[in-house]
Structure 1
Amino acid sequence: MEQHVDYLIEHFGYFGIIIVLIGGIVGLPIPDEVLLTYVGYNVFQGKLSYIPSLLSAFAGAAGGISLSYFIGYKFGLPLLNKFGPKIHITEDKINRTRKLFKKVGPTLILIGYFIPGVRHLAAYVAAINSFPFKKFVVYAYAGAILWSFAFITLGRVLGEKWGLVEVYISKYSIYFIMLFVVLAIAFYLYWRRRNQFRSG
């Protein structure tokens, strides 16, 4: 993977990061977190600059999730059921994500990036459930910022040990998911309560 990213960076610069992340969010089998961490490692090495890397990652994530939403809005569930399995989006994953969305829709959009499998489905499911695009953008783009910042910064901080992220994600992914779910729900409840307090 490192060789491919190095090639992209060398030939396409920050634009390469945007393109790969759009593909990864839409559903192509790309290890997005590993990619972002490696970008952070390149920042550590001085091959890339921190702020442009963050902006490129955000643009790719935001572009990918917006494209996913419009595909879901335009073509709906039948297309997802037909072509989803070809990009590892199974019917079981779709059904689980739909159930989750009914319970914690906005929160799922926000934290979906951090949950393997869900980030590829959250936008499709939001569109299929007629979740308003203006509201979708608020949560989706906020999540894109958090996700990009978290992993690029992690790669920058870890430096030569950036590869540990791939090991820990594969080994302890369920714990990371639980942590992010708890934090995201807590954030959402706080935000909702604060808005209710202001309006009251």
Structure 2
Amino acid sequence: MVVKDTVLDFVTNYGYYGLFLSLVLGIVGLPIPDEILMTYCGYLVSQSVLNYWFTLLTALLGSMTGITISYWLGRRLGLPVVEKFGRRLGVTEARLAKVNGWYARFGKIVLMIGYFIPGIRHVTAFAAGMSRMKYPPFALFAYLGGLIWTFTFITLGKSLGVHWAQVSEITHRFVLWFVLLLVVVGLALGLYYWRKRKV
């Protein structure tokens, strides 16, 4: 894959700056393999090329910046942007309709799990902006999701070391279900303790 090789070379040559810029552009909508990129950066951490904590911080800032840009594009420009540039950024009306349906069923939690669905993460933020979701709740769920997402793949790459490439292209499928399980368990525990306090 030409895009994959280009992005990995870019990060190899420019380190933290390359990681930050690649994640910003990938989340806004360019076809950048974000999960593979972060798993590779985790591998570079395992080889002492990058520092683990700086890599995590850079990835988190990149994801926060990209998701925030998508949110404000949706809030300020909305549907006209979708009609004019949507296909180039992967924000189609069909995807927006799908994400809006998820919002109706699952609420703001979609902002957290959307990171783990390639081609959807930037649409969740755009849809949140279009729906006029207030910035504080958007930031809480979107940035928390970004933290879980970046931590998961960078730590995975660090743990796998030289074997990162063998599984990096399929891990997002399993990680998504793992995160969904954590979210469900967390919500169930939260509901349990909330009801217990009400009694």
Determine the structure 1 residue equivalent to 2:47: 45
Determine the structure 1 residue equivalent to 2:29: 27
Q: Tell me if 1:99 matches 2:101.
A: yes
**Contact kept? 2:36, 2:169, Cα under 8 Å:** no
2:46 and 2:17 map into 1 onto residues whose CA distance is 19
CA gap of 1:167–1:85, structure 2 versus 1, over 3 A, is: same
Determine the structure 2 residue equivalent to 1:77: 79
- When the two structures are superposed, what TM-score results if normalisation uses the length of structure 1? 0.87
CA gap of 1:186–1:43, structure 2 versus 1, over 3 A, is: same
CA distances 1:168-198 after superposition (whole Å, capped 9, x unpaired): 24xx83x544443343233244345546766
1:100 and 1:59 map into 2 onto residues whose CA distance is 26
Which among 2, 14, 17 is matched to residue 16 of structure 2? 14
CA distances 1:8-31 after superposition (whole Å, capped 9, x unpaired): 342x33122111100011111001
CA distances 1:123-149 after superposition (whole Å, capped 9, x unpaired): 111111121110111111111111000
Segment of structure 1 superposing worse, 185-194 or 82-91: 185-194
Determine the structure 1 residue equivalent to 2:127: 125
- When the two structures are superposed, what TM-score results if normalisation uses the length of structure 2? 0.88
CA distances 1:72-127 after superposition (whole Å, capped 9, x unpaired): 11001231233111223332211101110122121101111111222121111111
**Contact kept? 1:93, 1:117, Cα under 8 Å:** no
Instruction: Tell me how far 1:199 sits from its aligned partner.
Output: 8.0
For structure 2, list consecutive stretches of 5 or more residues without a partner in the other structure.
Answer: none
What residue identity is the alignment partner of 2:138? F
Instruction: Look up the SS of the partner of 1:120 in the other structure.
Output: helix
What residue identity is the alignment partner of 1:79? V
RMSD: 2.2
The list of structure 1 runs, each at least 4 consecutive aligned residues, that deviate by more than 4 angstroms after superposition, is 192-200
Which among 61, 64, 67 is matched to residue 62 of structure 1? 64
**Contact kept? 1:2, 1:38, Cα under 8 Å:** no
For structure 1, list consecutive stretches of 5 or more residues without a partner in the other structure.
Answer: none
Q: How does 1:46-195 map to 2 (within 5 A)?
A: 46-169=48-171, 173=173, 176-191=175-190, 194=193
What residue identity is the alignment partner of 2:155? T
